[in-house]
């Protein structure tokens, strides 16, 4: 497995698969179009966030989108994992863990002392995040009306 920054063609492939990533990441609550996925991602990329991809024989197997953010209350600069996705046929091979480890190391090298992410309750990725030391920090609650 190779993990690196993608080229422009690979970024387009990721953006084409982003609706599926968002659908799965939101546990089916959101079914975005490619246009909506681009609306969410492009501002992050313009502000300096970037993808790291995992490849096997030059085929994309997964990716992580990382970058900087700020705490909404203290304005403290922090690293943020915006998206993590592994293509279905490559799941169960430790790709997510490797992407997270390298993403965390990259953000650490950029000077961030804390890294955050958001994940839907019930998402299988929670187990992976916890195994790598992530802990609950806030809980978002809702009520259906």
In a domain, 69, yes or no: yes
Interval 47-85: pLDDT, tens: 999 999 999 999 999 999 999 999 989 999 999 999 999
How many Å apart are CA 77 and CA 111, to the nearest integer?
A: 9
Overall domain count for the chain = 1
Distance (Å, rounded) from C-alpha 51 to C-alpha 5? 6
pLDDT tens for each residue of 89-132: 999 999 999 999 999 999 999 999 999 999 988 898 999 999 99
Give the range of the structural domain holding residue 45, as residue numbers without chain letter: 2-131
In this predicted structure, the answer to whether residue 23 has a pLDDT above a threshold of 90 is: no
**pTM (2 decimals)?**
0.92
Q: Is 33 among the domain residues?
A: yes
């Amino acid at each position: 497995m190779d993990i690196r920054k993608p080229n422009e063609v690979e970024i387009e492939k990721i953006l084409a698969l982003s609706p599926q990533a968002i659908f799965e990441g939101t546990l089916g609550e959101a079914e975005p179009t490619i246009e909506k996925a681009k609306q969410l991602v492009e501002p992050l990329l313009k502000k300096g966030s970037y993808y790291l991809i995992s490849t096997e024989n030059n085929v994309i197997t997964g990716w992580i989108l990382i970058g900087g953010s700020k705490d909404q209350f203290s304005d403290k600069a922090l690293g943020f994992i915006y998206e993590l996705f592994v293509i279905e046929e490559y799941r169960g091979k430790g790709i997510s863990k490797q992407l997270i480890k390298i993403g965390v190391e990259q953000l650490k090298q950029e000077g961030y002392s804390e890294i955050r992410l958001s994940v839907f309750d019930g998402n299988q990725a929670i187990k992976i995040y916890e195994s790598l030391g992530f802990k609950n920090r806030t809980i978002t609650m809702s009520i259906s009306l």
